[in-house]
Amino acid sequence: MFKQNPLRLRLLSYAVIAYMCMAFAWWSILLYTKNQDAYQAKVEILRMGAAAEGLFTDEASFKSSDAFLELEEKYSRQQWMILGEAALFMLSIILGVWIINNSYGHLIKSAENKRNFLLSITHELKSPIASAQLGLQTIQKRKLNEEQTERISVNAQHELDRLKNLVDNLLLAAKVETNYKPVFEVENVNRLIKDYIDRLMTSYPTVSFSMELDTEYQTAEIDRSGLISILGNLIENAIKYSESPAEVVVRTKLDDTKFLLEVKDRGLGIPEEEKDSVFHKFYRVGSEDTRKTKGTGLGLYIIKEMTSAHNGKVFVKDNPGGGTIFSIQLPRFQK
């Protein structure tokens, strides 16, 4: 029923809650009224008893008597208890409705993201496998010259590398949720980044890479594999969401307390209202049915989790002139 009629179930829940609120309000009013009636009856009984005993001569002296004041205080306290419990119950209902509604929204969003992930991961797995398989079948079934064979082999290798990166990301996403532990070593950050980007240039020959690396400090105590994973996912994300030819700028800044890594692009940018959501697992901007870019929604999630494992912070902001800037701030720097 939930899958077929979620809106009907939600409206039914609201109807039940509304009925409970109205019923409780009615019973609260009724109890308050009955308390008032009981108070008036007790006052009359007390007045008749005092009058029979000749304990007071007028109404003013009766209302100033200890017995009347004690009775009034008792029933006044009961009235406030009724009103307080009614208010507390209504606030509890309102808070409960808000929590249920908020949880329902997160549940629907999570289900949608998982659905999008399944759609994207199916395509992402099938596409490189089919391309590599087609290339190998072409080499096997046709007589090709050396240049053709080389071109098809390179394309097949590129697709297999893409498949490997996808599987690595899936495994890493599972690992960062459970037992990921950074292994810190003193590394030359500039050399590490240069070597990695040099390798990327062969896979992305049309992408314009530029580096603005800190020349004063070059050595930091970092988790090598973690930094490469963060950098790789940031660059891949920048390329995917940029019009060809993509422009990617990698910048580092090191000082006595932190290591700053920035990746800038001139891509499509991220709407302001989605800048926090992009770090959620499986989340991707837009709809999977209409989105043209490849991806699984795990890259930025991995970046967020790995940065947190390093006791660092990740920031996203607009790049002046268009695009996005992702900033990773990591502590534990050594000169």
Residue 200 tokens, joined: 């990327």
Residue 303 tokens, joined: 């970046």
| Residues 103 and 138 grouped into a single domain | no
Pairing relationship of beta strands 247-254 and 208-212 according to DSSP bridges: parallel
What percentage of the chain has pLDDT greater than the value 70?
87
Residue 107 in domain: yes
Residues in CB range of 322: below 8 A, 6 or more apart: 266, 267, 269
| Residues 37 and 140 grouped into a single domain | no
Question: pLDDT tens digits for the chain (335 residues)?
Answer: 444 456 676 677 778 777 777 877 787 788 878 878 887 888 888 778 777 777 776 777 777 777 778 888 888 888 788 777 777 877 887 787 778 777 777 777 777 667 766 666 666 777 778 888 888 888 888 887 888 888 888 888 877 877 877 777 777 777 777 777 778 888 888 889 999 898 888 778 888 898 988 877 777 788 888 888 888 888 888 888 888 788 899 998 887 778 888 999 888 888 887 787 787 777 666 554 445 556 667 788 888 888 887 788 888 888 887 888 999 888 765 44
| Residues 213 and 326 grouped into a single domain | yes
| Residues 88 and 11 grouped into a single domain | yes
First to last CA, the chain: 62
Residue 176 in domain: no
Give the helix/strand (H/E) hosting 127.
helix 66-141
Residue 174 in domain: no
Residues 148-161: pLDDT tens digits?
888 888 888 877 87
The three-class DSSP label of residue 34 is: helix
Of 98, 131, 163, which residue sits at a domain end? 163
CB 252 within 8 A of CB 213: yes
| Residues 141 and 225 grouped into a single domain | no
| Residues 57 and 124 grouped into a single domain | no
Question: What is the chain's alpha carbon radius of gyration, rounded to the nearest angstrom?
Answer: 35
pLDDT at 290: 40
Residue 288 tokens, joined: 């999977």
C-alpha distances (whole Å) from 242 to each of 24, 261, 268 are: 58, 20, 6
Residues in CB range of 125: below 8 A, 6 or more apart: 163, 166
Residue 134 tokens, joined: 């087609």
Q: pTM of the predicted model, to two decimals?
A: 0.57
Structural domain harbouring 152: 118-163
| Residues 128 and 102 grouped into a single domain | no
Query: What's the residue count for the chain?
Result: 335
Residues 8-40: pLDDT tens digits?
766 777 787 777 778 777 877 888 788 788 878
Whose structure tokens read 């007071």? 56
